[in-house]
Amino acid sequence: MSESRPAKRGRANLAGDAHVPNNEALTAQLSPSEINSQELRKEVNELNRNQLANIVLKAAESHRDVAAHVHDIVEAIREKERSRVINFDYESKDVWMQINVRYKTMSGSKQYEVAGDVWHYVTRSMKFIAGQCGPFGNRQTRFNGLSTLRKIGKTICLSSTDIVGHEVQKQFQWDQTLEDCMKRIVSGMSEDERKAIRQDESSAEALWPKLVELKKLARGRCIFNELDKVLDLIECGEGRGGDGEDEGEDDYENDQEEEDHCDRGDYFPQEAYLEDNDDYDEFTSDESDHGFAF
């Protein structure tokens, strides 16, 4: 009787992956009922924004239903933005209070110390407004945002009667946050929106005359040096980047008369502030604690 031969043994897998399935095989083995949703959510929460975006993009490229779902969600978000009108008056009021009221009773040295914080508060407010006025938002929201930034700009121009206002104003000799935020909003406007603003000169209360007024006020204080480009963007749909060479001789002479204020850093009298600031009555209040604390 012949002896049976032992079964042939397989070669050792020196790579060490003999029993490790590849990702495709693993994916195929997992049915929806076997996926632990809680564990999956924990893993998803560990991913950063870019990683999540890449996963969704790959899934959408491979599966039409995923792409359609992404499109539907984005459209729902945009429709919600289009149907919502935001009024930013509270932001301009807060800025006015921060600059003119909140720190009024402090000593000069204390006001000087907090002036930097107030400036940061003002620029954060500007950026917040611009962030709410994107191209997919409601057109009235964009108009309101631009109008409110104009009010904030005028407040800064006329608020140099104490140390806080004066120091904040000086920051905008180089800081271009206001102009950048305005350009961001205007860039998201349609041609019809820009044309409606530019052609509305029905009264001094219309937005375009007020923007022109702001440019003149800012020029006399050597602040907001990019406002020309904002107005160009409204008029032409793109910034010409000009330096105002086409302006009349009268404007040039007025510039020369007002330029000394920039060099001396003069304080403007309170009477002039109250006379020029058409927003003052709206903002005066016995409650000097409006706005957010730093």
Torsion of CA 261, 262, 267, 270, to 10 degrees: 70
Mean pLDDT, all residues of the chain:
77
Q: Dump pLDDT digits (tens) for 59-81.
A: 888 888 888 888 888 878 777 77
pLDDT at residue number 5 = 60
Q: Decide if 214 contacts 227 (C-beta within 8 A).
A: yes
Q: Please spell the DSSP secondary structure of 80-97, one letter per residue.
A: HHHH-----HHHHHHHHH
Side chain identity at residue 7, one-letter code: A
Torsion of CA 218, 273, 198, 168, to 10 degrees: 40
Question: CA-to-CA distance for 146 and 232, rounded, in angstroms?
Answer: 15
Question: CA-to-CA distance for 96 and 122, rounded, in angstroms?
Answer: 9
Q: Dump pLDDT digits (tens) for 215-248.
A: 999 999 999 999 999 999 999 875 333 444 444 4
DSSP conformation class of 63: -
Q: Dump pLDDT digits (tens) for 242-284.
A: 444 444 444 434 444 444 445 444 434 333 333 444 444 444 3
Per-domain residue ranges of the chain? 37-82, 85-283
For residue 288, name the pLDDT band (cuts at 50, 70, 90).
very low
Question: CA-to-CA distance for 168 and 29, rounded, in angstroms?
Answer: 64
Token pair of 232, please? 């160009």
- Tokens 């397989």: give the residue: 10
Higher pLDDT, 240 or 116: 116
Percent of the chain, pLDDT > 70?
A: 68
Q: Decide if 100 contacts 165 (C-beta within 8 A).
A: yes
